């Protein structure tokens, strides 16, 4: 079945540091890939998405590129802020289906 | 912009009781999904509805049932509650099915005593 593997957290960074959260996936078809963010006590917010190979999703300074050859969708940000502290979930949905399969989530903690 | 509304935000029940969670999707969204997120876990898909018909089924226990009504809101009914049902229950909605972005509500935190 489909699965998503994320790097374990917490990831602890100082403000303005570079962020990478690794995500790899296993899927039988040609999935769409997503990053969701969950702030404490809140629901999941769609951060960015990519629907085909080599697509780059971007939003609020975050970027991720759909790499089919390495089955990866790593999240990056050039300069993190304290307000970016949250849990980040990588997810996929198979082509033609909408059910999301999530990774375990990676907690990001940014200190001033 | 209007978001997905879930009620109640918090719910405390005892073992063997029943609970009903409600979800109001974003206006004009016709697809609703339910997910269960245990403490420190990733969300697990339970069930989804498209145009008031069940469209997909995940790891939903037989003790749970759900439906989508004519106004597209959905309810998750949970019976014979167990301690292990304590979790955050999310509803998400999308316009159509098939890889459309899902927009999540803030969840209902269910605690079983």
pLDDT of residue B62: 95
pLDDT of residue B98: 65
**CA atoms of A110 and B69, how far apart (whole Å):** 43
Q: How far is CA B8 from the centre of its chain?
A: 11
pLDDT of residue B97: 66
A47, A88 Cβ separation under 8 angstroms: yes
The confidence band for A10, taking pLDDT boundaries of 50, 70 and 90, is: very high
Mean local confidence (pLDDT), A37-66: 93
User: Which chain A residue's Cα is nearest to B58?
Assistant: A99
pLDDT < 70 stretches in chain B: 1, 97-99
Of the segments A4-8, A17-21, A28-32, which one has the largest average pLDDT value?
A: A17-21
| Chain B environment of A5 (Cβ under 8 Å) | none
| Chain A environment of B92 (Cβ under 8 Å) | 44, 100
pLDDT of residue B71: 94
pLDDT of residue A96: 65
**CA atoms of B24 and A84, how far apart (whole Å):** 28
**CA atoms of A61 and A79, how far apart (whole Å):** 8
pLDDT digits (tens, 9 = 90+) for A92-101: 988 766 788 9
């Amino acid at each position: 079945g489909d699965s998503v593997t994320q790097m374990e957290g917490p990831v602890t960074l100082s403000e303005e540091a570079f962020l990478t959260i690794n995500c790899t996936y296993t899927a039988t078809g040609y999935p769409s890939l997503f990053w969701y963010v969950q702030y404490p006590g809140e629901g999941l917010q769609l951060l960015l998405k990519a629907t085909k190979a080599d697509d780059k999703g971007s939003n609020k300074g975050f970027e991720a590129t759909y790499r089919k050859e390495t089955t990866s969708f790593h999240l990056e940000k050039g300069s993190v802020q304290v307000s970016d502290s949250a849990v980040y979930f990588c997810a996929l949905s198979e082509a033609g289906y909408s059910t999301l399969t999530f990774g375990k989530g990676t907690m990001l903690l940014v200190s001033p | 912009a209007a978001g997905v509304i879930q009620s109640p935000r918090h719910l405390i029940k005892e073992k063997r009781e029943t609970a009903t969670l409600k979800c109001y999707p974003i206006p004009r969204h016709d697809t609703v999904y339910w997910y269960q997120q245990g403490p420190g876990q990733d969300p697990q898909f339970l069930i989804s509805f498209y145009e008031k018909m069940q469209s997909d089924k995940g790891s939903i226990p037989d003790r749970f049932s759900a439906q989508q009504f004519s106004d597209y809101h959905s309810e998750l009914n949970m019976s014979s509650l167990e301690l292990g049902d304590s979790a955050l229950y999310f509803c998400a909605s999308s316009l159509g099915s098939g890889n459309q972005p899902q927009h999540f509500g803030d969840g209902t935190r269910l605690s079983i005593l």
